[in-house]
Structure 1
Amino acid sequence: SFGGPTLYENPHYQSPNMHRRVIRSITAAKYRERQQVKDVQKLRKKEPKTILPHDPTADVFVIPAEEKPVEIQWVKPEPKVDLKARKRRIYKRHRKLQQKMSRGSAK
């Protein structure tokens, strides 16, 4: 039943084990590449930064500013009124309306 010449041959056939092996190797390659990128980034951080020489034209428009006196605030500032809290406050008419609604749904 299985003897005789081959009827069909697939040149691209890959055994299931080989397929799993390829997938694992791809995953490992991704991991290795990420590690290499991290190593390169660490090396770049450790490299001394190139410092540009001082530009003499940068100080052309610099005007010495007056030193301001340090002010100490002795009185605590008044707290700001929270408008949102006032809006969220339930007024008496709303409480009564809610009580009526809750009694009506309880029946």
Structure 2
Amino acid sequence: MHRRVIRSITAAKYKEKQQVKDVQKLRRKELKTLLPHDPTADVFVTPAEEKPVEIQWVKPEPKVDLKARKKRIYKRQRKMKQRMDRGKTK
């Protein structure tokens, strides 16, 4: 009697596992239900900028060379230059 009860318990466990597998297979085969469109989903969607169809071959503007600019004359240099100019005119 004891052995019969043990076998029936193990058989019940096996049958339960098989039923769970069958239910999982059926769920996979079922068509998934589509949720209705959520109006708040479009809040963060931003339209992308349209790219030009044709590429325009335009020469880029030349860059300003900062080193080529005149060097700044400081106060001491201006005074020296004024003294030199005064000495030449006298």
Q: Which has the larger radius of gyration?
A: 2
